[in-house]
Chains A and B, each alone.
Chain A
Amino acid sequence: MLNALWQGKTLPVLAVCAVLAVFWYAGSVWLNADMQRDAFANAGKADFTMAELIDGTWSQERPKLPTPGQILVELNKTILDTAPTSKRSLVYHGSVTVSATLLGFLIGSVLGMGLAVLVVHVKSLDRSLMPWVVASQTIPIIALAPMIVVIMNQFDITGLVPKAVIAAYLSFFPVTVGMVKGLRSPDPLQLDLMRTYSADRLQIFLKLRVPASMPFLFASLKVAVAASLVGTVVAELTKSEDGGFGARLLAGSYYGQTIQIWSALFAAAACAWVLVTLVGIADRLVTRAMGARP
């Protein structure tokens, strides 16, 4: 048991967490001390001990840097103690974000794979389309998101879809790049073999290119699903009326609710971690079925 802890990832991760926590609590003291002194002064409390000061910096209502403990309390309150249907529940906001993320991921992946297939098989598209695919990612999504929302609103497309489109805008790119590389990964020998059987393009595609591209595809999908969540959160900053982590971040920053911002951030990170892990599990299942060494 101890040995497993030592050999595995658990102990190193916990060690890093502990170090981070120490720095974090120290940072909270450092950043919040001024405000705490002011608060003591306003309360007419002239002499206070160091312990009182530190304790105060760790329990402010709107600290510049809340402590991990405060964030955990807020997470506990908004996840477990609030009904999931309430607009104050992070579960509610999480479900809004995750559903747009998943739809965006789906659109982005299908689009990304489709583009990759075209780019690999049509030479002129390789030269004409690929530069645009790359250029699309040089535009900051934060600038593009409001315009997508406004334009789609003109066509009465509202709700989940505009956010998913913005998520897809970010997530199709890694899929296209990875899939193009994957579809081109068969070596000349593997291609020559197909030629000796006089296989047609479709057969080469299905029996050689697609299976060869799987490891590349899954690596890309992991990046894409995380990018999709980022895209959704950015979209929610523009389109905050439906809720979601982005709306939560926005509301938090309006009212200086730093604890709320940080807890939304942590919840979003946790969602991304779960999504990436799920893609990782799918990856492992597929590669195992395809005979990869365990």
Chain B
Amino acid sequence: MVRSESASPVIETSDLSLTFETGDGPVHALSNISLTINKGEFVSLIGPSGCGKTTLMRVIADLEQPTEGSVSVNGMSPHDARLKRAYGYVFQAPALYPWRTIGKNIALPLEIMGYSKEERAERVCKGLELVNLTGFEKKFPWQLSGGMQQRASIARALSFDPDLLLMDEPFGALDEIVRDKLNEQLLRLWEKTQKTVVFVTHSIPEAVFLSTKIVVMSPRPGKIHDVIECHFPRDRTLDIRETPEFLDVANRVRQGLREGHSYVD
């Protein structure tokens, strides 16, 4: 069961560079990034801290402006794509508003986008079901565990049904056991919804397990070191991590990370 790549690009960047001007001189966060992400792909950006993976994601989301090169999202500028609400963004932290219940948090983008009350209720219900949080609608964020909060934030990002999901180390703060579980759930979700996912991580097994394409990045300046295609069956489970094919890909990623990391810290 190899995923067929319909070659319609959702995100295209060419020669993208971003330099932050700081008091200590310029910091080259991104340098000559050329990358195409097609519809329905699950692309992981992996690399050590400071390699620009989050910055790249923020450029795609129009939260940072590139200094050079071009980037398009759904054939538009990121700015227009953001105004058209083209993507859902999941941050490192759940960033749920503490004064809103879980249900109201999931409804937040819907309120802003002007959905009717009935539709909001319906979508919140569906969203809670999607991330296995049915029954927690009336709870406040502090009453939920970290993993449940992050699931709620995923439901929030999906509530308005964007075709593109940008996830910035969503499970970085969670323990291994919860993370494994959420990885499997995320994979099911992706399979079910057919969305395009861009996923930032610095966990090799996570990247290999989830992705159809792994983009290995290296720091100073942040650039793409290697792009690895991997096509495991879409109904894979965590057991796949023991297979030689999985370990092969993981090794290649590790190799890439090591080469990119050749400077002395």
Contact = CB atoms under 8 A, between A and B. Distances in A.
A207 B111 contact: yes
B147 interface: no
Interface stretch (A168-176, A195-203, A241-249): A195-203
Interface residues of A, number: 20
Interface string B81-93: 0110101110101
Contact of A192 (B63, B97, B100): B63
A211 B140 CA distance: 15
B95 A196 contact: no
B2 interface: no
Interface string B69-109: 00000000000001101011101010101111100000011
Contacts of B95: 189-190, 193
Contact of B63 (A190, A195, A292, A293): A195
B142 interface: yes
A290 B99 CA distance: 5
Contacts of B108: 197, 207
B112 A291 contact: no
B142 A196 contact: no
B113 interface: yes
A198 B142 contact: no
B197 to A, nearest CB: 15
Contact of A198 (B82, B88, B98): B82
A208 interface: yes
B85 A198 contact: yes
The B interface is mostly helix, strand or loop, or mixed, namely: loop
A291 B63 contact: no
Nearest to A291: B140
B87 A293 contact: no
Contact of A208 (B83, B97, B113): B97
B112 A197 contact: yes
A198 B83 contact: yes
B91 A207 contact: no
A211 B99 contact: yes
Nearest to A210: B99
Nearest to A195: B63
B113 A197 contact: yes
B29 interface: no
Given A189-B91, A190-B97, A291-B98, A207 B112 contact: yes
Nearest to A211: B99
Interface of A: 189-190, 192-199, 203, 207-208, 211-212, 214, 290-293
7 contacts: A197-B112, A198-B85, A203-B112, A207-B97, A211-B97, A291-B101, A291-B142
List the 5 closest A-B pairs by CB distance, nearest first. A291-B140, A290-B99, A196-B89, A189-B95, A211-B99
Interface of B: 61-63, 82-83, 85, 87-89, 91, 93, 95, 97-101, 108-109, 111-113, 140-142
